[in-house]
Amino acid sequence: MTNKAVFLDRDGVINVDHGYVYRKEDFEFVDGIFEACRHFQEQGYLLIIVTNQSGIARGMYSEAQFQELTDWMVERFKEQGVTITKVYHCPHHPNFGPADERDCDCRKPKPGMILRGLEEFELDPAECIMIGDKGSDMVAAECSRIVTRIKVSSGQLRDNDFILSVLV
């Protein structure tokens, strides 16, 4: 039984961030993401995606459209021999959507999505890693007591050798 996971942001880490990506036609995987995830998986890490999706609150796309893209993305990972354990998403935004949903605990930099993953999968935050492309990803990880935090340039895994060397 594993007690560690890699938490990955989606836009800017898994796919190139083209802004409010919700259709597979617009989804472009970041070079090296399958290899990096496969490596972490081989080292015994669960792979958990934590993604803010304010486009839902903004009315740009629906929960169903988000889920359709997510299912497609998870299947592409599966075809590459990579299992995505869980995808958590925050559909909220502080300025859009229903007023009673604007102040949530899940929108990064708040740690709600990560904390849910830690609890659901009985993970040790000291053994987990967060990979994100924004300061809000790093703050959410810090608030969750995740020590190993890797910030990548948006849409680039040029530091793939560094990411892989974290475990070597």
- pLDDT over threshold 60, residue 42: yes
Report whether 19 belongs to an annotated binding site.
yes
The SS3 assignment for 110 reads: coil
Report whether 92 belongs to an annotated binding site.
yes
Per-residue model confidence as pLDDT tens digits over 65-122: 999 999 999 999 999 999 999 999 999 887 777 777 788 999 999 999 999 999 999 9
- Reported confidence tier of residue 155, pLDDT bands at 50, 70, 90: low
Q: Tell me which residues are annotated as active site.
A: 9, 11
Residues above pLDDT 70, as percent of the chain: 90
pTM of the model: 0.89
Report whether 144 belongs to an annotated binding site.
no
Report whether 54 belongs to an annotated binding site.
yes
Report whether 108 belongs to an annotated binding site.
yes
CATH of domain 5-124+135-152+160-165: 3.40.50.1000
Mean pLDDT of the chain: 90
Burial class of residue 162 (count of CB atoms within 10 Å of its CB; 0-12, 13-18, 19+): exposed
Query: Distance from CA of residue 24 to its chain's centroid?
Result: 17
Report DSSP state, residue 133: S
| pLDDT of res. 86 | 98
Mean pLDDT of 13-26: 94
Can you tell me the distance from the alpha carbon of 31 to that of 18, in angstroms, rounded to the nearest whole number?
A: 15
